[in-house]
Copies of this chain bind each other. A is one copy, B any other.
Amino acid sequence: MPDQDGFKVTPWTVEGEVDYNKLVQEFGTQLITDELLERIKKHTGDLHQFLRLKYFFSHRDLNWLLDRYENGEKFYLYTGRGPSGSIHFGHLMPWTFTKYIQDKFDSKLLFQLTDDEKFLYHDETSMDKISKYTYENILDIIAVGFNPKSTKILIDTKHIRHLYPIAIEIAKRVTYSTVKAVFGFHDSTNIGMISFPAVQASPCFLPSKIEGKPTPCLIPAAIDQDPYWRITRDIAEKMGYYKPVQIHSKFLPGLGTNGKMSSSQPETAIFTTDDPEQIQKKISNSFTGGQPTVALQRKLGANPDICPVFWYLRYMFESEKSSDERYIQCKSGGLLCHECKHDLIDATKPYMIEFQKKREKAKDQVNEFLFE
């Protein structure tokens, strides 16, 4: 249920219309300033679309990380995925951004698949089903184009031997009080969920174990994952590690009413396994910021701010300039929704055909990407 601000963000639910400035205040993170963007640009040469558009908008300790980097200290990237369903645009975006950081900073990447959490969280889900999603999701991860030489995928149940010794170091320092406060656990929460935050936090410190010295770690993820790292940050230094650095993205709206995206309603998201016909149908039926009639739209204009079609085009497929023009045209009534939908369909179909080719090829690369 949304809280008194009209929205609620935890690692399991995002509800209501999210006020990102409030979220930054509430979570105690920092907004990414133009000054920080300039500093990043010195190293990357260009700025990724997601930075320019402030899709990645918040951080913890990015300046500290750049200080280290400028002193010759490499950092690891760490991100993850809970394999409980298929991959859609909302997942691909932070991964694409992670690849960009990997390429620009020559970073090693640990990619964790939390099959254990998905099993523990969903009452009715079997491990067999989760293992199928795990395999399918790995194909998507590989298809994003990460460097196979510097990317290792960890599946919790398969690679637990690397994580467990770190997880118990973490778990020893975290009380039930803390996870109750941070995650809203209660007496009827199962004991697997209660200790899971320690497993999820472990890859933050695995780079230090691998390298044999404290090694910085950057986590690109949607801001709803922040609570995990808050606890991790609190205990990191006591354990002799660096605090994990974070860069937070916003959420991508779904195609359902009011930007709803739901795995139980597959028509609200475009999946990497959708064929051209499905893509066409989903986008054609998408919610938009449009008016009920063409006449009204011409007269009053539409609302791109709440329109998933606009944001998909802006984030994924258009230059900032074209997108700004589309915004103005939309607001003024110069564009009709079916035109934008048409543009998004035209951009998405070849993107997905190309992605699916890489995804097919990924079937031969799985072992190369798995942690030993």
Chain A contact residues, CB within 8 Å of chain B: 116, 119-120, 127, 157-158, 160-161, 164-165, 167-169, 171-177, 179-180, 185-195, 197-198
Contact = CB atoms under 8 A, between A and B. Distances in A.
Nearest to A165: B157
B191 A171 contact: yes
Contacts of A171: 120, 190-193, 195
5 contacts: A119-B168, A171-B193, A172-B192, A176-B189, A179-B191
A186 B176 contact: yes
Nearest to A175: B188
Given A164-B164, A171-B191, 11 more contacts: A116-B164, A120-B172, A160-B160, A168-B192, A171-B190, A171-B192, A174-B191, A176-B185, A176-B188, A176-B191, A191-B194
Contacts of A190: 171-176
Nearest to A188: B175
A187 B191 contact: no
A186 B175 CA distance: 9
Nearest to A178: B191
Q: Is the interface of A mostly helix, strand, loop or mixed?
A: helix
A178 B212 CA distance: 40
B192 A188 contact: no
A167 B191 CA distance: 10
Nearest to A122: B172
Contacts of A186: 176
- Closest 4 pairs (CB-CB, A-B): A171-B192, A195-B195, A177-B187, A191-B195
- Residue picked from A172, A191, A193, most chain B C-beta under 10 Å: A191
B176 A120 contact: no
A194 B190 CA distance: 10
A71 to B, nearest CB: 31
A168 B198 contact: no
Nearest to A179: B191
A162 to B, nearest CB: 10
